[in-house]
A and B are shown apart, each in its own frame.
Chain A
Amino acid sequence: MSETITVNGVSQPLPDDVRVSLLDFLRQHLGLTGTKKGCDHGQCGACTVLVDGFRINSCLTLAAMHADQEVTTIEGLGTPEDPSALQRAFVEHDAFQCGYCTPGQICSATALLEEIRSEWPSDASDDLAAPTLTDEEIRERMSGNLCRCGAYANILAAIRQVAEEDA
């Protein structure tokens, strides 16, 4: 297939084998191993990436389904030398332990901030029309990213700090 997909701003040819998930394409074909495989079935969120700005589970989609789309992975959000505000806040608040769910958490949180700006509601919104950024909102919106080390309280603190800086 001569189609391409854009990953972190770089155009890449799609894999020949259409069975390749977007996740495996990133990890095994492009060597972008920052995106993690935790369950391979959309049950943990470790593989979260942004596609055209929306967060999705990269395990439950085929790379081939994303021809001509733009994918942003954790590597595209920042580097050790030039981290994003969320990446810095995660380090500062110790918002991870083993680190395996962390790229997914950060990709998710990056999208979350945008979703809040767009006033999208969540299951935790008292008012569907005008959700406000409570701790409960952040918790609900981050519930698609499991953290077995149990760093949730620190993840919340990190996201809240960046959200408030943003506001």
Chain B
Amino acid sequence: MRPFDYIRATDPTDAAERTSAPGAMAIAGGTNLIDLMKLQVETPDTLVDVGRLDMGSIEEAGDGLRIGALVTNTATAVHPKVRADYPVLARAILAGATQQLRNKATTAGNLCQRTRCTYFTNIDQPCNKRAPGSGCGAMGGVARLHAILGTSDQCIATYPGDMAVAMAALDAHVHIQGGRGGDRQVPVREFHRLPGETPWQDNVLESGEIITAVTLPLPVKGKQIYRKVRERSSYAFALVSIAAIVAMDGGRIARADLAFGGLAHKPWHDPRLADLLVGEAPSPALFEKAADVLLDEADARGGSEFKIPLARRTLTAVLTEATETRT
């Protein structure tokens, strides 16, 4: 870990200002950043501790639920309103990491969690995300856990989180303060970026911007499911995960909000799925069609070919359960 200056921000404006300095980074829970600093993947000159700012509460707003940027993952998952109205979010958070980590990890930090690609975390291997232009070690290397959707020639890393996948299904919005444009809101579905030609940019946050909150829309009817497939029964990143909010009306699908983890550089949301599913009577054939749409451009560039059938089967499983279709 390189030496750095450690300062505490006094308010969100101060935080935005201080983190806009070259080499400055914000730290809240630290569970991802300190991990990467020890590995010398992240080498900030200044750490701006935002952890004590007043952004740690969950409030009911007229149009939904506002979760402060510094609310811990635990606090979100145990909140009565989240448990009752947004169970997919509670489930997604509880499926991630461990109680110790969830007690520390924050809403904003979790959104900004960086990839677990081991070529990214090993500074003695090439990685376009960590060292632009150095190449992608994962392609042609060990890439079992890598992306099959939205990859580029530069990068096949995945976004590793669970919380954001549920937030993408819920169509939550990220509130951002500071920066040139002042305050702004970005849908979670558009917050993370695909790697493209700039894989070092994980999301749309710009220098000097900080996340202040995430808002969930008003509760919707329907069944909420978070299904995470992983190699051990706990404390493992997703091979594939699906957040699903599915409502039925008169034997037909009335709502089908789906988001996917473990498949791409971002929580994957494909609007074509809802277009295909809504209004239809559920059936195995329909679910197969949905999987065809989801995976029509799937491309495994490492050892992650298995994710294509696995994503198909997991989607079928989730839709079967959500629509109570008999198989």
Contacts and interface: CB of A to CB of B under 8 A. Distances in A.
Given A19-B1, A41-B35, A144-B99, A129 B94 contact: no
B27 A121 contact: no
A62 B87 contact: no
B100 A140 contact: no
Nearest to B35: A41
B327 interface: no
Given A120-B74, A121-B78, A128-B91, A55 B103 contact: yes
Contact of B99 (A19, A55, A62, A128): A55
Interface in B92-113: 94-95, 97-101, 103-104
Given A57-B104, A60-B31, A108 B99 contact: yes
Contact of B103 (A18, A56, A64, A140): A56
B221 interface: no
A152 to B, nearest CB: 12
A57 to B, nearest CB: 5
A19 B34 CA distance: 9
B237 to A, nearest CB: 11
A60 B34 contact: yes
A64 B84 CA distance: 37
Contacts of B101: 42, 56-57, 60, 144
Given A41-B35, A42-B35, A120-B74, A64 B99 contact: no
B4 interface: yes
B225 to A, nearest CB: 12
A154 interface: no
Given A21-B34, A60-B31, A128-B90, A45 B1 contact: no
Interface in A140-157: 140-141, 143-144
A4 to B, nearest CB: 15
Interface string A93-120: 0000000000000001001100100101
Contacts of B31: 42, 57, 60-61
Interface residues of B, number: 37
B282 to A, nearest CB: 24
Contacts of A40: 38
A144 B235 contact: yes
A52 to B, nearest CB: 10
B245 to A, nearest CB: 15
Interface string A32-64: 000000001110010010000011110111101
A62 B51 CA distance: 12
A65 interface: yes
A121 B51 contact: no
Contact of A120 (B6, B78, B234): B78
A45 B100 contact: yes
A64 B27 CA distance: 12
- A-B complex: 6 closest residue pairs judged by Cβ atoms: A144-B98, A143-B234, A18-B6, A128-B83, A123-B94, A54-B103
Given A41-B38, A144-B97, A144-B100, 16 more contacts: A18-B47, A42-B35, A55-B99, A56-B100, A60-B35, A60-B104, A61-B30, A62-B30, A62-B34, A64-B49, A121-B78, A121-B90, A121-B94, A123-B95, A143-B98, A143-B234
Interface of B: 1, 3-6, 27, 29-31, 34-35, 38-39, 47, 49, 51, 74, 77-78, 80, 83-84, 87, 90-91, 94-95, 97-101, 103-104, 233-235
12 contacts: A18-B6, A40-B38, A54-B74, A57-B31, A61-B31, A62-B6, A108-B100, A122-B94, A128-B91, A140-B233, A141-B99, A144-B97
